[in-house]
Chains A and B, each alone.
Chain A
């Protein structure tokens, strides 16, 4: 069964750096886009962007461009989301999800369990 397993919860201070991970299994990780979605506690879902592990092609939402970086290592079936300078407003749950894109599809069919990031000021 397709699974995405994310790294554990993080507590950081404002200004610190952070890199969280998302490891896929039971499918060809390099051939599906991975998306990142933010959910502030008690709020809705926000599309942050996507990365194609096969060639590291990335697309960022303008709302997150320049503040986060996506990367991937297909040899270990893992995608990463990183910040170089966290803000208190980055406090949220972050989900990775596999994107079905192309061939008349555009939806997230499998999701990771989420990584809670707490940033204190």
Chain B
């Protein structure tokens, strides 16, 4: 099972909106609504920021939103803030012999 494909980097200025894409196949993103997103600051453990495509865990800012179309999922961060600078990984349940796959990761830079 190959990793889901994400852009290596995305950047934006404070206050702007950015969108991170995550492309898979019909065996993972396209087949299930079990897409999650994790935020990882340098030297820290990943933190869940979105699950089931567009559900925010308690405590996660409403500036984060998720969506899916076909085999591609997206995470949008609006009103970009300095603390949003981190690595973001998407993930999905899959129907292959590895039931869970992560994305390649995207480094978000706040200019």
Contacts and interface: CB of A to CB of B under 8 A. Distances in A.
A108 B36 contact: yes
Contacts of A113: 45
B94 to A, nearest CB: 10
Given A104-B52, A107-B48, A107-B91, A61 B104 contact: no
A107 B46 contact: no
Interface in A86-108: 95, 97, 100, 104-108
Interface of A: 35, 37, 44-47, 59, 61-63, 95, 97, 100, 104-114
Interface residues of B, number: 25
A37 B89 CA distance: 13
Interface of B: 3, 32-34, 36, 38, 45-48, 51-52, 57, 89, 91, 93, 97-105
Contacts, number: 62
Given A61-B98, A108-B36, A114-B45, A44 B52 contact: no
Q: Nearest 5 CB-CB pairs, A to B? A: A107-B36, A106-B34, A107-B51, A45-B102, A111-B45
- Tell me the interface secondary structure of chain A in the complex: strand
